[in-house]
Structures are given as C-alpha cells and as structure tokens.
Chain A
Amino acid sequence: GQNIDQPTEMTATEGAIVQINCTYQTSGFNGLFWYQQHAGEAPTFLSYNVLDGLEEKGRFSSFLSRSKGYSYLLLKELQMKDSASYLCAVRGIAAGNKLTFGGGTRVLVKP
C-alpha cells in the first residue's frame, strides 16, 4: 500500500517563501507529482520528480530524496493568487499510471 503525509495548513506572508513537505511510504516508486488546486476547481500540474534533486520552474521548485521518501515544494515570492491547496501525489510501480494523493496542504497567503 501507499501512505502519503503532508501538513494540513500553512500560512505565509506575501513576498515570502513557503516550503511544503511531503513524506511517503510506498511499495514501489515511479515518480512524484505536485498539483495546485484552488477552492472548488480542478487540480493543475506543477511539477514532476523521479530522480533525486531539485527541479526549478520559475517561482516554484520541487525536491526529491528517494532514500528518505521525502519531497518538498518551495514557493518563492509568494503572491496572493498562490493561496490554494497543494497536493503531493506518488506513482507506484503498478500498471495504469495510477497516482496516490496526499490530503493536500492549504496555503493561505496574507498581505
């Protein structure tokens, strides 16, 4: 089975940096995804990691350590529009490109 943990909620100030951690235990690992979801809307893809290290994409970066079962999503220069839930999802080795999602971290950006 798969188990994915991430904090429920975080608060940060506009212009600051926030780091959202995700730890996972899986029977096999074949990639980790981060999605952003605004309230009442569909998740949208942010990043993908399959090898150890940091992937940077503009203000967002994602890090993976497979040996530690750990990832984080780093949001820099926070903007009010970054207030959303951030979902960590792990793909196992079973067929079907299936993802197992964590509960999501709700980030609130304050002025």
Chain B
Amino acid sequence: DGGITQSPKYLFRKEGQNVTLSCEQNLNHDAMYWYRQDPGQGLRLIYYSQIVNDFQKGDIAEGYSVSREKKESFPLTVTSAQKNPTAFYLCASSIEGTGRYEQYFGPGTRLTVT
C-alpha cells in the first residue's frame, strides 16, 4: 500500500539531547514537508523539500535540521537549540506543482522533552 510512515509514534527525550524523527513515503512524491502542531493549534511549517538534495526553511526552522538524500526519506532532527520541542510532528508529501495537489500526511510523532 502507498503511504507515508513516521516512527516512532511516541518519543520521549531528556532536555539537551538531539533527536531524529523519521519520515518515509512510497508515493513517488517529489515534495516533502515537516510541520509542528501544538495543542489546539494549526500546523506550522518547519522545513520543506521539493527535490532530492535540496530543502528550504519554513516559518519556524530555528532549532531544527533536515536532510533529503533520497526521494523517499526526509528525516527531521530536533536539536537542543529548539527551546520548546514538545509537540506533535507531522510529515507530509505531495506531487510538486500548483495543480490540485493535496498534501498527504503521515500518522505523526508525538515528542515529549523533559
């Protein structure tokens, strides 16, 4: 089945540690995105990538890093520089272009940092 997978579903870390969230898709989509969602709020864009080996900062990139070495994979690292990392992280992918190309979302990773 085609889709987007994120692992793990729940992640716990101590403050000061870097943590990497995985995102894999087998939809053959060129574009991939990382969002953060805080309780009762909408989605905010962290990073996005339109093509392999290229990515751009979104609205809240500080304290995060990404890589796009393969079309299928777009891991997100939450660094110790991120001041408030506890949140629900969603990965998405879409066909590149501005037609009726909706973004498909993975199931999300809930990160708790204490």
Contact = CB atoms under 8 A, between A and B. Distances in A.
A103 B102 contact: no
Interface stretch (B14-22, B40-48, B65-73, B78-86): B40-48
Contacts of A45: 102-104
Interface in A62-105: 87, 89, 91, 95-104
A101 B97 contact: no
Q: Most chain-B CB neighbours within 10 Å: which of A8, A31, A87, A99?
A: A99
Interface in B1-47: 31, 33, 35, 40-45
Contact of A101 (B43, B94, B104): B43
A96 B41 contact: no
B50 A43 contact: no
Contacts of B75: none
Given A42-B90, A96-B56, A97-B98, A103 B45 contact: no
A30 B97 CA distance: 11
Nearest to B98: A30
Given A96-B31, A97-B96, A42 B106 contact: yes
Interface of B: 31, 33, 35, 40-45, 48, 50, 56, 58, 88, 90, 94-98, 100-108, 110
Interface of A: 4, 8, 30-31, 33, 40-45, 48, 50, 87, 89, 91, 95-104, 106
Given A31-B98, A104-B40, 14 more contacts: A40-B108, A42-B105, A42-B106, A43-B43, A44-B105, A45-B103, A87-B42, A87-B43, A96-B31, A97-B50, A97-B98, A99-B43, A102-B42, A103-B40
